[in-house]
Protein backbone atom coordinates (compact mmCIF):
# COMPACT_ATOMS: atom_id res chain seq x y z
CA UNK A 1 0.00 0.00 0.00
CA UNK A 2 2.87 2.38 0.79
CA UNK A 3 4.19 1.97 -2.76
CA UNK A 4 0.89 2.93 -4.40
CA UNK A 5 0.30 6.43 -5.74
CA UNK A 6 -2.37 7.92 -3.46
CA UNK A 7 -4.42 9.53 -6.26
CA UNK A 8 -4.71 6.16 -7.99
CA UNK A 9 -6.38 4.88 -4.81
CA UNK A 10 -8.80 7.79 -4.60
CA UNK A 11 -6.93 9.58 -1.81
CA UNK A 12 -6.69 13.40 -2.04
CA UNK A 13 -2.94 13.43 -1.36
CA UNK A 14 0.06 14.00 -3.59
CA UNK A 15 2.17 11.86 -1.25
CA UNK A 16 1.73 9.78 1.88
CA UNK A 17 3.30 10.26 5.31
CA UNK A 18 3.72 7.33 7.69
CA UNK A 19 0.74 8.71 9.66
CA UNK A 20 -1.40 8.70 6.49
CA UNK A 21 -0.37 5.12 5.78
CA UNK A 22 -1.24 3.98 9.30
CA UNK A 23 -4.67 5.60 9.09
CA UNK A 24 -5.35 4.19 5.63
CA UNK A 25 -4.30 0.70 6.71
CA UNK A 26 -6.89 0.81 9.48
CA UNK A 27 -9.54 2.31 7.17
CA UNK A 28 -9.02 -0.50 4.63
CA UNK A 29 -9.25 -3.13 7.32
CA UNK A 30 -5.72 -4.38 6.76
CA UNK A 31 -5.05 -4.09 10.50
CA UNK A 32 -7.20 -3.34 13.50
CA UNK A 33 -4.76 -0.74 14.75
CA UNK A 34 -1.19 0.31 14.08
CA UNK A 35 0.98 3.24 15.16
CA UNK A 36 2.67 5.56 12.74
CA UNK A 37 6.03 4.71 14.37
CA UNK A 38 5.51 1.04 13.58
CA UNK A 39 4.84 1.95 9.96
CA UNK A 40 7.97 4.11 9.97
CA UNK A 41 10.11 1.22 11.33
CA UNK A 42 8.77 -1.23 8.74
CA UNK A 43 9.28 1.16 5.83
CA UNK A 44 12.72 2.18 7.08
CA UNK A 45 13.78 -1.48 7.18
CA UNK A 46 12.82 -1.82 3.49
CA UNK A 47 14.22 1.61 2.50
CA UNK A 48 10.78 2.80 1.35
CA UNK A 49 10.05 6.51 1.77
CA UNK A 50 6.78 7.36 0.01
CA UNK A 51 6.78 10.91 1.40
CA UNK A 52 9.93 11.71 -0.65
CA UNK A 53 10.23 12.34 -4.36
CA UNK A 54 12.75 13.58 -6.91
CA UNK A 55 12.41 15.17 -10.31
CA UNK A 56 12.91 12.96 -13.35
CA UNK A 57 13.08 13.56 -17.10
CA UNK A 58 12.13 10.46 -19.03
CA UNK A 59 14.44 9.77 -22.02
CA UNK A 60 12.50 10.98 -25.06
CA UNK A 61 15.24 11.11 -27.68
CA UNK A 62 14.61 8.19 -30.10
CA UNK A 63 18.38 7.97 -30.63
CA UNK A 64 19.22 8.25 -26.95
CA UNK A 65 21.61 5.29 -26.81
CA UNK A 66 23.33 6.14 -30.09
CA UNK A 67 24.04 9.70 -28.88
CA UNK A 68 24.90 8.81 -25.28
CA UNK A 69 27.39 6.02 -26.01
CA UNK A 70 30.05 8.27 -27.64
CA UNK A 71 29.92 10.53 -24.58
CA UNK A 72 30.25 7.61 -22.17
CA UNK A 73 33.08 6.17 -24.25
CA UNK A 74 34.96 9.46 -24.09
CA UNK A 75 34.69 9.39 -20.31
CA UNK A 76 36.31 5.95 -20.48
CA UNK A 77 39.07 7.25 -22.78
CA UNK A 78 37.71 5.71 -25.98
CA UNK A 79 36.65 7.19 -29.35
CA UNK A 80 35.21 5.09 -32.16
CA UNK A 81 36.52 1.94 -30.52
CA UNK A 82 40.10 3.20 -30.16
CA UNK A 83 41.85 4.44 -26.99
CA UNK A 84 42.50 8.17 -26.79
CA UNK A 85 46.10 9.26 -27.05
CA UNK A 86 47.84 11.47 -24.49
CA UNK A 87 47.50 14.42 -26.87
CA UNK A 88 43.70 13.98 -27.07
CA UNK A 89 41.60 16.05 -24.66
CA UNK A 90 37.96 15.92 -23.56
CA UNK A 91 36.16 19.14 -22.61
CA UNK A 92 32.70 19.27 -21.04
CA UNK A 93 31.05 22.67 -21.48
CA UNK A 94 27.78 24.45 -20.84
CA UNK A 95 26.19 27.69 -19.61
CA UNK A 96 24.59 28.45 -16.27
CA UNK A 97 22.06 31.07 -17.27
CA UNK A 98 20.33 33.94 -15.48
CA UNK A 99 22.27 33.94 -12.22
CA UNK A 100 20.66 36.76 -10.26
CA UNK A 101 22.34 39.18 -7.90
CA UNK A 102 19.90 39.50 -5.03
CA UNK A 103 20.59 42.29 -2.58
CA UNK A 104 18.83 41.57 0.69
CA UNK A 105 16.82 44.47 2.11
CA UNK A 106 18.25 43.83 5.58
CA UNK A 107 21.58 42.33 6.67
CA UNK A 108 21.62 38.73 7.77
CA UNK A 109 23.07 37.27 10.96
CA UNK A 110 25.82 34.65 11.28
CA UNK A 111 25.24 31.28 12.95
CA UNK A 112 25.52 30.99 16.72
CA UNK A 113 25.14 28.22 19.32
CA UNK A 114 21.67 26.71 18.93
CA UNK A 115 20.85 29.35 16.29
CA UNK A 116 20.99 29.01 12.53
CA UNK A 117 22.28 31.68 10.22
CA UNK A 118 19.46 34.03 9.20
CA UNK A 119 19.03 35.41 5.69
CA UNK A 120 16.47 38.12 4.96
CA UNK A 121 13.72 36.74 2.73
CA UNK A 122 13.06 39.96 0.81
CA UNK A 123 15.56 41.20 -1.74
CA UNK A 124 16.09 43.61 -4.62
CA UNK A 125 17.00 42.21 -8.02
CA UNK A 126 20.27 43.79 -9.11
CA UNK A 127 20.42 42.13 -12.52
CA UNK A 128 21.57 38.76 -13.80
CA UNK A 129 24.43 37.30 -15.78
CA UNK A 130 25.40 34.03 -17.43
CA UNK A 131 28.36 31.89 -16.42
CA UNK A 132 29.97 29.83 -19.17
CA UNK A 133 32.33 27.09 -18.08
CA UNK A 134 34.42 24.30 -19.57
CA UNK A 135 35.84 21.33 -17.66
CA UNK A 136 38.77 19.21 -18.81
CA UNK A 137 37.43 15.78 -17.95
CA UNK A 138 40.79 14.00 -17.67
CA UNK A 139 42.96 16.82 -16.28
CA UNK A 140 40.49 18.52 -13.91
CA UNK A 141 41.19 21.94 -15.41
CA UNK A 142 38.45 24.56 -15.27
CA UNK A 143 37.79 27.52 -17.55
CA UNK A 144 35.01 30.04 -17.23
CA UNK A 145 33.76 33.53 -17.96
CA UNK A 146 30.78 35.69 -17.12
CA UNK A 147 28.69 37.28 -19.87
CA UNK A 148 25.52 39.42 -20.01
CA UNK A 149 23.64 36.60 -21.70
CA UNK A 150 24.26 33.49 -23.80
CA UNK A 151 24.65 33.05 -27.54
CA UNK A 152 26.96 31.81 -30.27
CA UNK A 153 29.37 34.74 -29.90
CA UNK A 154 29.75 34.18 -26.17
CA UNK A 155 30.21 30.46 -26.66
CA UNK A 156 32.97 31.33 -29.14
CA UNK A 157 34.66 33.34 -26.38
CA UNK A 158 34.65 30.28 -24.13
CA UNK A 159 36.02 28.09 -26.92
CA UNK A 160 38.75 30.65 -27.64
CA UNK A 161 39.62 30.83 -23.95
CA UNK A 162 40.38 27.10 -23.98
CA UNK A 163 41.70 26.49 -27.47
CA UNK A 164 44.24 29.34 -27.50
CA UNK A 165 46.03 27.83 -24.51
CA UNK A 166 48.38 24.90 -24.36
CA UNK A 167 48.08 21.94 -24.46
CA UNK A 168 44.81 22.39 -26.39
CA UNK A 169 46.26 24.70 -29.05
CA UNK A 170 48.67 22.04 -30.28
CA UNK A 171 46.58 18.99 -29.35
CA UNK A 172 45.81 16.22 -31.80
CA UNK A 173 42.10 16.40 -31.04
CA UNK A 174 39.95 18.27 -28.53
CA UNK A 175 36.49 16.79 -27.98
CA UNK A 176 33.81 19.25 -26.83
CA UNK A 177 30.86 17.61 -25.06
CA UNK A 178 27.84 19.94 -25.04
CA UNK A 179 24.08 19.73 -24.73
CA UNK A 180 21.62 20.96 -27.36
CA UNK A 181 21.31 24.54 -26.17
CA UNK A 182 20.75 27.25 -28.75
CA UNK A 183 24.39 28.40 -28.55
CA UNK A 184 25.75 25.07 -29.78
CA UNK A 185 22.89 23.07 -31.29
CA UNK A 186 22.94 20.52 -34.08
CA UNK A 187 25.08 19.78 -37.10
CA UNK A 188 25.50 23.49 -37.80
CA UNK A 189 27.30 23.94 -34.50
CA UNK A 190 29.54 20.92 -35.19
CA UNK A 191 30.62 22.47 -38.49
CA UNK A 192 31.02 25.90 -36.96
CA UNK A 193 33.30 24.59 -34.23
CA UNK A 194 35.35 22.71 -36.83
CA UNK A 195 35.73 25.93 -38.82
CA UNK A 196 36.92 27.76 -35.72
CA UNK A 197 39.42 25.05 -34.79
CA UNK A 198 39.96 22.14 -37.21
CA UNK A 199 41.12 19.79 -34.47
CA UNK A 200 38.00 20.41 -32.32
CA UNK A 201 35.24 17.77 -32.41
CA UNK A 202 31.84 18.56 -30.92
CA UNK A 203 29.86 15.69 -29.37
CA UNK A 204 26.24 16.32 -28.36
CA UNK A 205 24.50 14.63 -25.49
CA UNK A 206 20.96 13.34 -26.18
CA UNK A 207 18.09 15.80 -25.73
CA UNK A 208 17.15 16.25 -22.05
CA UNK A 209 20.27 14.44 -20.84
CA UNK A 210 22.30 17.11 -19.08
CA UNK A 211 23.14 14.51 -16.44
CA UNK A 212 25.55 13.03 -19.00
CA UNK A 213 27.52 16.28 -19.14
CA UNK A 214 30.15 16.40 -16.40
CA UNK A 215 30.20 20.20 -16.22
CA UNK A 216 26.76 19.92 -14.61
CA UNK A 217 28.41 18.27 -11.61
CA UNK A 218 30.56 21.34 -11.16
CA UNK A 219 27.53 23.60 -11.60
CA UNK A 220 25.72 21.73 -8.82
CA UNK A 221 28.73 22.23 -6.51
CA UNK A 222 28.83 25.90 -7.47
CA UNK A 223 25.13 26.31 -6.71
CA UNK A 224 25.37 24.67 -3.30
CA UNK A 225 28.63 26.16 -2.08
CA UNK A 226 28.76 29.60 -3.72
CA UNK A 227 25.24 30.71 -4.67
CA UNK A 228 23.07 29.45 -1.81
CA UNK A 229 22.05 31.70 -0.18
CA UNK A 230 22.25 34.36 -2.87
CA UNK A 231 23.23 37.74 -1.40
CA UNK A 232 25.14 40.11 -3.71
CA UNK A 233 25.01 43.87 -3.95
CA UNK A 234 25.60 44.06 -7.70
CA UNK A 235 26.75 42.12 -10.77
CA UNK A 236 30.40 43.09 -10.29
CA UNK A 237 30.39 41.50 -6.86
CA UNK A 238 28.61 38.43 -8.22
CA UNK A 239 31.10 38.00 -11.06
CA UNK A 240 34.07 38.36 -8.72
CA UNK A 241 32.50 35.77 -6.44
CA UNK A 242 31.99 33.28 -9.28
CA UNK A 243 35.52 33.64 -10.61
CA UNK A 244 37.03 33.41 -7.14
CA UNK A 245 35.14 30.19 -6.49
CA UNK A 246 36.29 28.81 -9.83
CA UNK A 247 39.91 29.49 -8.93
CA UNK A 248 39.48 28.06 -5.42
CA UNK A 249 37.74 24.91 -6.68
CA UNK A 250 40.32 24.19 -9.39
CA UNK A 251 43.22 24.23 -6.92
CA UNK A 252 41.82 21.19 -5.12
CA UNK A 253 39.97 19.58 -8.04
CA UNK A 254 40.51 16.07 -9.32
CA UNK A 255 38.76 14.27 -12.19
CA UNK A 256 35.25 13.14 -11.33
CA UNK A 257 34.96 9.41 -10.66
CA UNK A 258 32.52 8.74 -13.46
CA UNK A 259 31.24 5.17 -13.05
CA UNK A 260 28.20 5.13 -15.36
CA UNK A 261 29.18 3.14 -18.46
CA UNK A 262 27.35 2.13 -21.61
CA UNK A 263 26.61 -1.24 -19.95
CA UNK A 264 24.77 0.66 -17.22
CA UNK A 265 22.99 2.67 -19.91
CA UNK A 266 21.71 -0.45 -21.68
CA UNK A 267 20.52 -1.82 -18.34
CA UNK A 268 18.71 1.45 -17.52
CA UNK A 269 17.02 1.72 -20.92
CA UNK A 270 15.94 -1.91 -20.73
CA UNK A 271 14.43 -1.30 -17.30
CA UNK A 272 12.55 1.77 -18.54
CA UNK A 273 11.21 -0.15 -21.55
CA UNK A 274 9.96 -2.85 -19.22
CA UNK A 275 8.26 -0.28 -16.98
CA UNK A 276 6.55 1.31 -19.98
CA UNK A 277 5.33 -2.11 -21.15
CA UNK A 278 3.94 -2.89 -17.70
CA UNK A 279 2.18 0.48 -17.53
CA UNK A 280 0.56 -0.03 -20.93
CA UNK A 281 -0.63 -3.49 -19.91
CA UNK A 282 -2.01 -2.14 -16.64
CA UNK A 283 -3.88 0.62 -18.51
Residue spans per domain, the chain: 6-45, 64-252
Bridge-based pairing state of the strands 88-104 and 82-83: unpaired
Domain 64-252 has CATH 3.40.50.1970: no
Whether 60 shows a pLDDT value over 90: the answer reads no
How confident is the model over 8-44, as pLDDT tens digits? Answer: 888 899 999 999 999 999 999 999 999 999 999 999 9
123-136 β-sheet, strand order? 141-147, 123-136, 88-104, 173-178, 200-204
User: 91-106 burial, b for 16+ CB within 10 Å, e for fewer?
Assistant: bbbbbbeebbbbbbee
Contacts of 123 by beta carbon, 8 Å cutoff, 6+ apart: 102, 103, 104, 105, 230, 231
Entry pTM = 0.88
**Mean pLDDT, rounded, for 95-123:** 95
pLDDT digits (tens, 9 = 90+) for 204-242: 999 989 899 999 999 999 999 999 999 999 999 999 999
Give the pLDDT band (50/70/90) at residue 279.
confident
Amino acid sequence: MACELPMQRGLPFSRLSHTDIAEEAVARGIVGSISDMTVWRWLSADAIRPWCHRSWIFPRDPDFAAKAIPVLDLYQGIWEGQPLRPDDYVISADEKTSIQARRRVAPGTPPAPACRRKVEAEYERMGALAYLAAWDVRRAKLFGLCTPTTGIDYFRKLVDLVMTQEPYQSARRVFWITDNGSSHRGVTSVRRLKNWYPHAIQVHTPVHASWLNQIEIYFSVLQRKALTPNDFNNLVELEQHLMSFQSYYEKAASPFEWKFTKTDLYRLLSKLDQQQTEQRMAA
